[in-house]
């Protein structure tokens, strides 16, 4: 992810604390390595739409392409020559999701460096929480940074490590960082995957023929007909080379804290993450929500697409008809990634339209996955009222988002989170609904098959709802995160 933007790079609202969610992919042992990677990244487009890149290795040389925009734009039919040029039996790739405003190519992954032992490329999903501190020390000691990403800090630490082998250097580097990481790296003769000890971000292992795959979600395996083998364990490093797959546990053991927001919003519903179908989890959350916050209504309407599975679960549990009362235009990107509030407003209108035939004269329950700034909900409610709804109730399939994520999900600074400055009642008034309710934190855990949230040792990372951050936030503790990282203005 991007640490912070350079002072000249973007509008002030996007200056700091914007995080990004990303997708990673790696394959070893296929003559179609780069093509498989492009397809995998295409399946993971929802995790990052700003930029994409692939680096491949043919045993002698590395080949790379990075570009802004979607996977199809960079690696599609019109750019077949690009894909053809990415030769080799091993490749890694990345989709970047950034709302920092800085779209500079220098931040697009995989990052590549010629190191003591040879070429090395790295992709990262997550966010390091002491990268700025480490970066300051590294710069002080003479390191030169090319990008403003925390991922480059890892590269620099590897380069400076006194350990002998590439895996020992990587372990040495990763023992110095705090935060969330799912990494996929490429060397001349291996693909290496690694997950932080808390397992905040997902990483799965798949197989097709003799080739092994490491990637963020199982949908990236499905797309090429690869078989899902297992999740990479929290704190595990897997090395894939010509001898097969080798597993190591180089870190101290930590309590598992997988990000619960992956189930609520981020992962694709057709993925299976950490043993749970994302679709089934969302339906169960909707059912639990219906139990907790019932309301007399004629129709249950999802806010598409993210609210659909939970609305199905809600409608079934409430024994109320499910209708498509809002239609989404699929040719507009996720509204959340528009860089300014003004554009975001426009985006919401472009993206959704009310369907009066399902709404007029009815008592409507709208179901959505989350409320962040409240922009989407306000517009949707207005639209539904204009389409003739008699009553509009809103049910949210997550607890109120009161805290920013520092581990890799894109949430704005705290003061922009509606729930951090308003009660549920105040939010309901602002959004313009007859009633508003969120699932409780225990209800969310129950939907995930737990008895409830364990206060002492929560089973997931739920910091965005509770403010309990499992991993130290060193970079944010000394209040100096706005220190400039680079004077180079972003160029896209």
Of 367 and 490, nearer to ligand AMP (C-beta) is: 367
> Does the annotation mark 185 as catalytic?
no
The DSSP code sequence of 30-76 is -TTHHHHHHHHHHHTGGG--SEEEEEEE-SS-EEEEEEES-HHHHHS
Residues 6+ apart with CB under 8 A from 434: 391, 392, 393
CB of 163 vs ligand AMP, minimal distance in Å: 36
Q: How far is the CB of 411 from ligand AMP (least distance, A)?
A: 5
Q: Which is nearer to ligand AMP, 235 or 347 (CB)?
A: 347
Identify each DSSP E strand in 322-380 by its residue range.
326-328, 352-354, 363-368
**Is 409 within 8 Å of 260 (Cβ atoms)?**
no
Q: CA angle 263-264-268, nearest 5°?
A: 60
Out of 198, 336, 406, 460, the residue judged to bind ligand AMP by CB under 6 A: 336
Span near ligand AMP by CB under 6 A; candidates 155-163, 170-178, 183-191, 372-380: 372-380
Phi/psi of residue 198, nearest 5 degrees: -85, -15
| 167 or 310: CB nearest ligand AMP | 310
Alpha-carbon distance of 298 to 117, in angstroms, equals 66
Q: Which stretch binds ligand AMP (CB under 6 A): 133-141, 251-259, 369-377, 472-480?
A: 369-377
Residue 167 or 376 with smaller CB distance to ligand AMP: 376
Q: Does the footprint of ligand AMP cover residue 376 (CB under 6 A)?
A: yes
Question: For residue 366, which of 413, 428, 450, 411 has the smallest C-alpha distance?
Answer: 428
Tokens 């737990």 locate to 450
Q: How far apart are CA 331 and CA 483, in angstroms?
A: 38
Residue in 37, 375, 404, 459 binding ligand AMP, rule: CB under 6 A: 375
Is residue 369 within the footprint of ligand AMP (CB under 6 A)?
yes
Instruction: Decide: 383 and 352 in contact? Cβ < 8 Å.
Output: yes
Pick 153 or 401: Cβ nearer ligand AMP: 401
Left (φ > 0), alpha (ψ -120 to 50) or beta: where does 150 sit? alpha
DSSP characters over 373-431: SSHHHHHHHHHHHHTT-SEEEEEESS----S--SSS-----GGG-HHHHS-HHHHHHHH
Q: Is 196 in the site for ligand AMP (CB under 6 A)?
A: no
Q: Which residues contact 469 (CB under 8 A, 6 or more apart)?
A: 406, 463
**23 in Cβ contact with 41 (< 8 Å):** yes
Minimum distance, C-beta of residue 206 to ligand AMP, in the bound complex (Å): 26
Total residues binding ligand AMP (CB under 6 A):
17
Q: Which one from 22, 123, 185, 461 is the annotated catalytic residue?
A: 22
- Least separation, in Å, of the C-beta of 287 and ligand AMP? 19
x-or-dash string of contact with ligand AMP, 386-415, rule CB under 6 A:
-----------------------xxx----
- Measured from the CB atom, the residue of 135 and 257 that comes closer to ligand AMP is 257
State the nearest-atom distance from the C-beta of 377 to ligand AMP, in Å.
Answer: 6
Residue owning tokens 């790696």: 26
Quick note: the x/- pattern for ligand AMP over 288-327, rule CB under 6 A, is ------------------x---------------------
Between residues 288 and 368, which has the closer beta carbon with respect to ligand AMP?
368
Write out the H or E segment, with its range, that includes residue 184: strand 179-186
Q: Is residue 373 close enough to count as binding ligand AMP by CB under 6 A?
A: yes
- Site for ligand AMP contains 371 (CB under 6 A): yes
Token look-up 């973007």 returns: 10
Closest distance of CB 354 from ligand AMP, Å: 16
Q: Is 11 exposed, middle or buried (0-12, 13-18, 19+ CB in 10 A)?
A: exposed
Among 294, 333, 339, 374, binds ligand AMP (CB under 6 A): 374
Give me the least distance between CB of 302 and ligand AMP, in Å please: 10
Give me the least distance between CB of 394 and ligand AMP, in Å please: 11
Shortest CB 309 distance to ligand AMP, Å? 12
Shortest Å distance, C-beta 261 to ligand AMP? 7
Among 10, 370, 404, 459, binds ligand AMP (CB under 6 A): 370
How would DSSP label each residue in 290-315? Answer: HHHS----SEEEE-TTTTHHHHHHHH
CB 193 within 8 A of CB 229: no
Using the minimum distance from each CB to ligand AMP, give the nearer residue, 121 or 397: 397
Residues in contact with 164: Cβ distance below 8 Å, sequence separation at least 6, in sequence order: none
Q: Which of 41, 182, 183, 372 binds ligand AMP (CB under 6 A)?
A: 372
Contact between 52 and 75 under an 8 Å Cβ cutoff? The reply is yes
Binding mask 227-266 for ligand AMP (x = CB under 6 A): --------------------------------------x-
- What CA–CA distances, in Å, run from 160 to 93, 117, 138, 157, 189? 24, 12, 9, 5, 21
Identify which of residues 3 and 366 has a Cβ nearer to ligand AMP in the complex.
366
Segment contacting ligand AMP (CB under 6 A): 109-117, 185-193, 362-370, 385-393?
362-370
Catalytic residues: 22
Give contact residues for ligand AMP (rule: CB under 6 A): 265, 306, 334, 336, 368-377, 409-411
């Amino acid at each position: 992810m991007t640490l912070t933007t350079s002072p000249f790079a973007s509008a002030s609202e996007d200056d700091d604390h914007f995080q990004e969610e990303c997708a990673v992919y790696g394959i070893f042992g296929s003559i179609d390595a780069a093509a498989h990677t492009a397809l995998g990244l295409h399946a993971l487009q929802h995790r990052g739409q700003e930029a994409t890149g692939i680096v491949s290795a043919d045993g002698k040389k590395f080949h790379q392409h990075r570009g802004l925009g979607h996977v199809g734009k960079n690696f599609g039919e019109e750019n077949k020559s690009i894909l053809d040029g990415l030769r080799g039996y091993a490749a890694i790739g990345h989709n970047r999701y950034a709302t920092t405003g800085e779209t500079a190519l220098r931040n697009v992954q995989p990052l590549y460096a010629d190191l003591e032992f040879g070429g090395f490329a790295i992709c990262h999903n997550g966010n390091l929480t002491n990268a700025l501190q480490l970066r300051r020390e590294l710069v002080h000691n003479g390191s030169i940074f090319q990008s403003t990403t925390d991922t480059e800090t890892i590269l620099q630490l590897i380069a400076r490590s006194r350990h002998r082998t590439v895996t020992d250097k990587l372990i040495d580097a990763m023992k110095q960082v705090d935060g969330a990481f799912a990494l996929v790296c490429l060397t001349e003769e291996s693909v290496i995957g690694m997950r932080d000890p808390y397992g905040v971000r997902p990483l799965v292992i798949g197989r097709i023929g003799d080739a092994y795959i490491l990637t963020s979600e199982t949908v990236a395996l499905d797309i090429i007909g690869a078989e899902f083998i297992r999740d990479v364990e929290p704190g595990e490093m897997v090395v894939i080379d010509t001898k097969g797959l080798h597993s190591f546990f180089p870190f101290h053991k930590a309590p598992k804290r997988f990000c619960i927001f992956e189930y609520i919003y981020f992962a694709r519903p057709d993925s299976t993450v950490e043993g749970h179908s994302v679709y089934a989890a969302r339906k169960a959350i909707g059912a639990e929500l219906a139990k907790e916050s019932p309301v007399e209504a004629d129709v249950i309407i999802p806010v598409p697409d993210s609210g659909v599975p939970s609305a199905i679960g809600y409608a079934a549990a409430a024994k109320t008809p499910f209708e498509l009362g809002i239609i989404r235009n699929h040719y507009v990107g996720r509204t959340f990634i528009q860089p300014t509030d003004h554009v975001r407003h426009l985006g919401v209108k472009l993206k959704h339209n009310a369907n009066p035939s399902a709404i007029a004269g009815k008592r409507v329950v709208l179901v959505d996955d989350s409320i962040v700034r409240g922009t989407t909900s306000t517009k949707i409610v207005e639209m539904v009222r204009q389409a003739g709804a008699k009553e509009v109730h809103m049910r949210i399939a997550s607890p109120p988002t009161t805290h920013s994520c520092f581990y890799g999900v894109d949430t704005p600074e705290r003061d922009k989170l509606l729930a951090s400055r308003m009660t549920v009642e105040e939010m309901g008034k602002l959004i313009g609904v007859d009633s508003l309710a969120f699932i409780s934190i225990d209800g969310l855990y129950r939907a995930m098959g737990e008895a409830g949230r364990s206060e002492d040792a929560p089973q997931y990372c739920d910091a965005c709802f509770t403010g309990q951050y499992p991993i130290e936030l060193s970079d944010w503790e000394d209040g100096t995160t706005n220190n400039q990282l680079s004077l180079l203005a972003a160029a896209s």
